[in-house]
Structure 1
């Protein structure tokens, strides 16, 4: 039986609709870029200790069986508006690189093969363990039959969630942004890592990232991210995915995803040191944020825990 046929036989109903996650940001910059490098942080020692209820849902649940959530736009559902994320990869190997294959099925029951370009890519793929460690942001490749392959770096044992972020370029979903996800189990001795305390600073590759701004759930607030090195402001940020930074956030406990889209592009290799955001996070609690930025041709990923009241 073909890959597509297996998927078609396993199609499920639409996930229940729910409240909408809204995130917006204004990134202080102008211009454009076609930078397309990827990033991964396998085994990163930062994450959350799941609560008893969250742990039973994420670490012990049957892989790939997340059909619906109370918040249909938080990335926790595998289906929305007739589109469904399908994959037979319910279990992935531990400790070595592997490919995660998937398809996006359309309302007509066929694999979607046409996708619009968003931030220089037709598909953004994220992987994170249930304790919010091991963050990977990839840009998979698609075969002619609509099968995507994301080349994952080595995964630690535990329950992982795989997110596909895309926009169809035709059909009923044209012009709409989708974030769908499924879970996969990596067998072995899973040792959850406690979430680092909320803070305003993070260190990565000799750079210091400082976040300023008080965030309240459901309300838009200004937020500034400043980048320095050796105590000096950084002014040589290079373009990455048409921006000077890419920010992805995951909510502690349920792994709800939010990412910030820039409203302005960049202008050459002269970004920084301050990046201004206009952000609204939908849920209170701790969010683990991964800020990606490029200097000297190298991509850096800083992780910081922010508390949203």
Structure 2
């Protein structure tokens, strides 16, 4: 197959089935607030006999999110299923309840009513967006996806209804244009972005909670004055290669709690639902700018301490 082949938006969506999409481009200026509660943690017992990272069975594993368009009586209605690569487009969607009504009331978490993640199927393009909601429940945000192919849209939210749990719903998005498949970068313990270097230590474990520490430096000096971003000194999203399962990752501590330092290290607790390769995206704020460092990791394996640092210059839109 000629990798420079032009494909239509429909073909881009078909390519998503095989996990092929990619892009790096400019994002939008961040809109950042300073404080919010953490996500609600949800845990579901794993199937009997399921193997865990420590070789034992019977532990509870949090369910992966984003694999379903409908869950818990709510549906993600993506009104913009196709865009053109390299063109700024307004992405519009609605969350509907089990009666088909648009949801208009949400619980604020991490300073926002809803977090929108857009990732390419090959996990090399990443956008963390915060759309605006109209009175009728329609959400909208501009997006510019740089390369053609398949993408996944994740809506992370908690309805305001009493007893409602945090949900992550997912829907497919296609970007038309010249398409070239890309491979997942190799695992490395260090990433570079805009002159910053971020080092990852810790292990992402299947079926077990573990700590991931990410230390930020610039010009060889530790960054000790990270700024609050979404209620923490960093925000981490983990996606599983292949099906793009979305993991809820929880920060350790928060600004102003009297024990959490503003860098250079930011810690998180995460549990992988299975073995396999994952892509980690760390958003951190310094000098008034939000940047994203990306890593490839394999669940159950210690983060590599050597190798060529991965360069990540993908835009970060809000």
8 Å contact from structure 1 (residues 291, 301) kept in 2: yes
- TM-score, structure 2 normalization: 0.72
8 Å contact from structure 1 (residues 54, 254) kept in 2: no
Name the residue aligned to 1:19: none
* In the alignment, structure 1 residue 137 sits paired with structure 2 residue 128: yes
Partner-residue secondary structure (3-state), 1:92: strand
Name the residue aligned to 1:213: 202
Name the residue aligned to 2:288: 297
Name the residue aligned to 1:184: 173
8 Å contact from structure 2 (residues 81, 173) kept in 1: yes
* In the alignment, structure 1 residue 260 sits paired with structure 2 residue 254: no
8 Å contact from structure 1 (residues 72, 80) kept in 2: no
Return the alpha-carbon distance in structure 2 between the equivalents of residues 165 and 147 of structure 1: 15
Moved more, 213-222 or 107-116: 213-222
Stretches of 4+ moved more than 4 A in 1? 57-60
RMSD: 2.4
Moved more, 92-101 or 112-121: 92-101
Return the alpha-carbon distance in structure 1 between the equivalents of residues 204 and 79 of structure 2: 39
Return the alpha-carbon distance in structure 2 between the equivalents of residues 220 and 73 of structure 1: 14
- TM-score, structure 1 normalization: 0.74
* In the alignment, structure 1 residue 245 sits paired with structure 2 residue 237: no
Return the alpha-carbon distance in structure 2 between the equivalents of residues 191 and 168 of structure 1: 39
**Which digits, 9 at most, give the CA deviation of each residue in 1:83-115, with x for residues without a partner?**
000123221122111111111101232110001
**Which digits, 9 at most, give the CA deviation of each residue in 1:8-44, with x for residues without a partner?**
xxxxxxxxxxxxxxxxxxxxxxxxxxxxxxxxxxxxx
Moved more, 97-106 or 220-229: 220-229
Return the alpha-carbon distance in structure 2 between the equivalents of residues 270 and 153 of structure 1: 35
The match for 1:227 among 208, 213, 216 is 216
* In the alignment, structure 1 residue 308 sits paired with structure 2 residue 299: yes
The match for 1:150 among 137, 141, 144 is 141
In the superposition, relative to structure 1, how do residues 87 and 276 fare at CA in structure 2: closer, same or farther (>3 Å)? Answer: closer
Gaps of at least 5 residues in structure 1 are 1-52, 61-70
8 Å contact from structure 1 (residues 238, 270) kept in 2: no
Partner-residue secondary structure (3-state), 2:172: strand
Task: Report how far residue 137 of structure 1 moved.
Answer: 0.3
In the superposition, relative to structure 1, how do residues 191 and 161 fare at CA in structure 2: closer, same or farther (>3 Å)? Answer: same
Task: Report how far residue 206 of structure 1 moved.
Answer: 1.2
Return the alpha-carbon distance in structure 2 between the equivalents of residues 224 and 185 of structure 1: 34
Return the alpha-carbon distance in structure 1 between the equivalents of residues 71 and 93 of structure 2: 16
8 Å contact from structure 1 (residues 54, 253) kept in 2: no
8 Å contact from structure 1 (residues 83, 105) kept in 2: yes
